[in-house]
């Protein structure tokens, strides 16, 4: 007789059947962890990669051991997760658990960067308030000029778009 398991073509005598079923690759066996029935031939794969109840260690190496089911949740807050340093301008990518150490080690760099950032933002705000549309043009390799752009709310009597002028208010002067 043929093995009753779908996909198994084994033909053998009735008395040999029980012995075959106990190791037939196509026999479904229940997973001890999740209760799902899995083909014997797929069982290793199920336990290693699929079963949500099997405990695995965190792939980010934080040492946590948890059911695969909770892995996604854990990865969101895992201390082994690498984050980009929050300080603007700092390009460091640091594991979450190393952030305090990085904050201490990079304190000086951060101060400089933060000051630079404050300056930059101040400059930006100042620039936006005062001279919004000056366009720096390259006239030749060695000289630049500022051209008045779409700057409609101040109309100097002698200002035309092609005239040279300084963005600091010295209208008409060459830089
Ligand atoms: Zn079989
Ligand atoms: Zn399972
Ligand atoms: Zn982890
Ligand atoms: Zn940093």
Closest ligand to Cα 107 = 4
| Encoded tokens for 23 | 């190791």
Closest ligand to Cα 41 = 1
- Residue-level pLDDT at 159: 45
DSSP 45-56: HIIIII-SSSEE
Q: Token match 């201490």: residue?
A: 104
CA of 61 to the centre of ligand 3 (A): 6
Q: Give pLDDT tens digits along the chain (175 positions).
A: 899 999 999 999 999 999 999 999 999 999 999 999 999 999 999 998 899 999 999 988 889 999 999 998 998 888 888 888 888 888 899 888 888 899 999 998 898 888 888 888 888 777 666 655 555 555 444 444 555 544 444 444 444 444 444 555 555 444 4
Give the CATH number of domain 31-80.
Answer: 3.30.40.10
Contact 39, 53 (CB under 8 A): no
Contact 3, 17 (CB under 8 A): yes
**For the chain, what are the domain ranges?**
1-29, 31-80, 99-148
| Encoded tokens for 88 | 């603007």
- Residue-level pLDDT at 140: 47
């Amino acid at each position: 007789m043929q093995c009753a398991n779908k996909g198994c073509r084994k033909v053998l005598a009735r008395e040999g059947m029980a012995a075959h079923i106990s190791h037939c690759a196509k026999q479904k066996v229940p997973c001890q962890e999740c209760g799902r029935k899995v083909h014997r031939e797929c069982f290793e794969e199920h336990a290693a990669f699929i079963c949500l109840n099997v405990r695995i260690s965190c792939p980010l190496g934080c040492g946590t051991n948890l059911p695969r089911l909770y892995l996604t949740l854990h990865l969101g807050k895992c201390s082994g997760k690498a984050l980009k340093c929050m300080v603007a301008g700092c390009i460091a990518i640091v594991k979450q658990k190393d952030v305090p150490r990085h904050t201490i080690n990079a304190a000086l760099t951060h101060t400089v960067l933060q000051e630079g950032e404050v300056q930059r933002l101040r400059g930006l705000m100042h620039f936006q308030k005062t001279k919004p549309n000056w366009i720096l043009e390259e006239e030749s390799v060695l000289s630049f000029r500022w051209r008045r752009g779409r700057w409609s709310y101040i109309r100097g009597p002698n200002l035309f778009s092609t005239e040279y002028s300084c963005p600091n208010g010295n209208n008409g002067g060459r830089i």
